[in-house]
Amino acid sequence: MKKWIPIASGLVAGFVAATISFADLSSSPKTTEAANSSTKSNAEKVYVPFGQKDDYYLIDSGGHSGQLFVYGVPSMREIRTIPVFSPDSATGYGFDSRTKKMLGGYTWGDLHHPALSETNGDYDGKFLFATDVGNSRAAAVDLKTWTTRDIIKVPNTAGPHCAAFVTENTEYMFLPTRFAVPLGQKYESLDEYHSKYRGVMSAVTFDQNKEKLNIAYQVALPPWSYDLSDAGKKSSKDWAVLTTYNTEESTTTMEINASQADRDYIVLFNWKELAKMVKEGKYTDVNGQKMIFPEKQKGGIYLIPVAKSPHGVDVTPDGKYFIASGKLAPAMTVFSFEKAFKAVENKDFSGERNGIPILNYKSVMEREVNPENALGPLHTQFDNKGMAYTTMFISSEIVKWNPKTGETLDRVPVQYSPGHSVAAEGDTVAPDGKWLVALNKLAKDNFLSVGPSHPETMQLIDISGKMNVVDTVPVNPEPHYAQMIKADKIKSINVYPKDTKNPDAVYKKSDARIVRKGNEVHVYGIAMRSRFIFDAKAKRPDVIEVNQGDHVFIHLTDIDFDEDITHGFAINDYNLNMEVQPGETNTLEFTADKAGTFPLYCTNFCSALHQEMNGYFLVKPKK
Ligand code: CUK
Ligand code: CUA
């Protein structure tokens, strides 16, 4: 049993250590005997016997790895890595022409908040969205194939950290920027920050049939930093909220300067009203985007004062409240949508900033909740009874509380410093209330040492009764947020269906061929157990021969329509690698600039004769 070690520094640590002990917070039995039996029953809770499957998928953000990690719950076994914003040589992601083009030359991303698509406020298991803070992009992942299908670059903005959170029927996801920049990211002196810089929010749509992301419109919010956002639900479904910090508009030493004011704001906006403005042509064209300037186009956007430098804001499953947590203030503040709508209607304003009206705090605030000694509240999740679970970054615990009364119901220490937590079906109108996973920033002494840098951790917490931490597993950087969905909602496919309309696909061995058009060489090839066929009629069907300088397209179809028979394709010393999954057709496009003899081979173990699955790529030197 781990000791509870507060990780906070200075005064705070002393204060916490002095006032909270492990025994106060933990429900764990104290005798060794009892601890053993509790450990055993916990082990049984996470044990999924061979042949049986987990009940939930946990899809975890990979932060600055640019990837997503897929786990099973309750076993907490890692099943898969899905590359999204970074190339991945294990799958050839970013090497084949479709994904290479999609990555647009970027070799990394910072993926924070995955969001599942919703229908009527419930996860529908079709798509997952995520944003990239590092290079201002948004992505859509298809959950039939678990592959990234589209990536869009978001202009006029720099780091859409706060997303993605989708509206009730996945009409929009809102991408407010973390960093304010001049429109078009043009050069402007920081002395002009107030007048020339903006914190742009983008409203992004997704066409599920075409699998295409699109920017519907943007809003030029004041030059502040925008943090977490969430969409309304049920009676608040036309609205969305986001938190702000640095409303001080400081341009240096943010650590100090962005924490001066006692209050920052929540931005509350009605996306139906904004969409209507755009439809009526009430916008300005900025670098090809439809931009709403709130100081010119009044209505639809309001500010609500909130305890300084808030981080998270979360809408309750019933859609009645939104809860903001101040990382610097020890309180969670519950606001009422109904009261906010009334304040909007009555023009119950206490002033305005940058042309946006500020709603009267007292009129909208429901209650401030401050559990004793709970420090650093960040993000809140919910169970099936509407109870809230807030991560406490500084006091390293999860606090369960009742948003309707403010009463603290339960607390459990986690190891250590949780950022987000995620509940089963947590962002829906009907969370499951069975599991909560704490996404911890620090592992400290939890695992075998692998040097100065430690992994982050995830802890599985049984929330069906008194909170009980049943498992701790290491996870790659960085678990910012995750989604947990019932496994039976996901309809993965086992093989790609034949696509007879795809001109690059070849399903019959005798159709494999190499076509030359000037200096363009198109290989229409086949991968199967256990050989390549590039040219069915050639003396050596598994050899590709080109001239130096030729532009080469290798279209490869895996004709093993068989579960789990994926082939790889790599050309030695050409820095090229891709995979073709069962039934899939994929293309590598490159210039054969290096003359010589280069073996090519299958990188993915596919049969007893996988080692024989190879050939040659011959490049005849220029005279
Ligand atoms: S953030 Cu709050 S802990 Cu990117 Cu959601 Cu990481
Ligand atoms: Cu095909 Cu290994």
Distance from Cα 546 to the centre of ligand 2, integer Å: 23
Distance from Cα 113 to the centre of ligand 1, integer Å: 8
Please check the confidence at residue 8 and state whether its pLDDT lies above 50: no
* 567 CB within 6 A, ligand 2: yes
- 479 and 515 housed in the same domain: no
**Predicted confidence band of residue 2 (pLDDT cuts 50, 70, 90):** very low
Please check the confidence at residue 5 and state whether its pLDDT lies above 60: no
Tally: H helices and E strands in the chain: 9, 42
Q: What is the tens place of the pLDDT at every residue in 559-594?
A: 999 999 999 999 999 999 999 999 999 999 999 999
Q: CA-CA distance, 101 to 576, in Å (whole number)?
A: 15
- 485 and 521 housed in the same domain: no
- 485 and 534 housed in the same domain: no
Kindly identify the ligand whose nearest atom is closest to the C-alpha of 131. Answer: 1
Kindly identify the ligand whose nearest atom is closest to the C-alpha of 564. Answer: 2
Q: pTM for this structure?
A: 0.93
* Domain assignment present for 382: yes
Domain tally, the chain: 2
- 349 and 251 housed in the same domain: yes
* Domain assignment present for 66: yes
Name every protein residue with a CB atom under 6 angstroms from any ligand 1 atom: 112-113, 161, 228, 311, 378-379, 419-420, 480-481
> Going by CA atoms, what residue is nearest to atom 1 of ligand 2?
567
* 604 CB within 6 A, ligand 2: yes
Which residue in 458, 390, 429 sits closest to 76, CA to CA?
458
* Domain assignment present for 496: no
Give the per-residue pLDDT at 359: 98
Give the per-residue pLDDT at 25: 38
**pLDDT above 70 as % of the chain:** 94
Quick one: CA dihedral 342, 346, 352, 355, positive or negative? positive
* 447 CB within 6 A, ligand 2: no
Tell me which of 1-10, 110-119, 415-424, 540-549 is least confident. 1-10
* Count of residues making up the chain: 623
- 482 and 513 housed in the same domain: no
SS3 of residue 464 by DSSP? coil
Q: For residue 384, give both structure tokens.
A: 């099936």
Tell me which of 36-40, 122-126, 155-159, 606-610 is least confident. 36-40
Q: CA-CA distance, 141 to 471, in Å (whole number)?
A: 28
Please check the confidence at residue 13 and state whether its pLDDT lies above 50: no
- 140 and 192 housed in the same domain: yes
User: Which residues, in sequence order, are CB contacts of 446 under 8 Å at separation 6+?
Assistant: 2, 415, 454, 457, 472, 474
> Going by CA atoms, what residue is nearest to atom 6 of ligand 1?
480
- 567 and 538 housed in the same domain: yes
What is the residue-wise DSSP string for 332-391? EEEEEHHHHHHHHHTT-EEEEETTEEEEPHHHHEEEEE--TT---EEEEEE-TTS-EEEE
Which residue in 382, 330, 464 sits closest to 19, CA to CA?
330
* 605 CB within 6 A, ligand 2: yes
* Domain assignment present for 219: yes
Please check the confidence at residue 30 and state whether its pLDDT lies above 50: no
Q: At 567, which amino acid appears?
A: H
First to last CA, the chain: 72
Distance from Cα 112 to the centre of ligand 1, integer Å: 7
- 535 and 455 housed in the same domain: no
Give the per-residue pLDDT at 32: 40
Distance from Cα 565 to the centre of ligand 2, integer Å: 8
Ligand 1 atom at shortest distance from the alpha carbon of 480: 6
SS3 of residue 206 by DSSP? strand
Q: If you average pLDDT over every residue of the chain, what do you get?
A: 92
- 182 and 74 housed in the same domain: yes
Burial pattern 342-378, b for ≥16 Cβ within 10 A else e, equals ebbeeebbeeeebebbbbbbebbbbbebbbebbbbbb
Please check the confidence at residue 413 and state whether its pLDDT lies above 50: yes
- 161 and 35 housed in the same domain: yes
Which CATH number characterizes residue 535's domain? 2.60.40.420
Q: Where are the alpha helices (DSSP H) in 348-437?
A: 361-364
Q: Find the mean pLDDT for residues 524-534.
A: 97
Ligand 1 atom at shortest distance from the alpha carbon of 228: 5
Burial class (CB in 10 A: 0-12, 13-18, 19+), 193: middle
- 93 and 231 housed in the same domain: yes
* Domain assignment present for 500: no
Q: CA-CA distance, 447 to 373, in Å (whole number)?
A: 28
Q: For residue 441, give both structure tokens.
A: 């920033």
Which CATH number characterizes residue 273's domain? 2.130.10.10
Please check the confidence at residue 224 and state whether its pLDDT lies above 50: yes
User: Which residues, in sequence order, are CB contacts of 296 under 8 Å at separation 6+?
Assistant: 284, 355
Give the per-residue pLDDT at 38: 62
**Predicted confidence band of residue 525 (pLDDT cuts 50, 70, 90):** very high
> Going by CA atoms, what residue is nearest to atom 5 of ligand 1?
480
The CA distances from residue 275 to 164, 215, 280, in Å, are 18, 12, 9
Range of the domain at 545: 509-620
- 590 and 484 housed in the same domain: no
Q: At 194, which amino acid appears?
A: H
Please check the confidence at residue 229 and state whether its pLDDT lies above 70: yes
Distance from Cα 619 to the centre of ligand 2, integer Å: 23
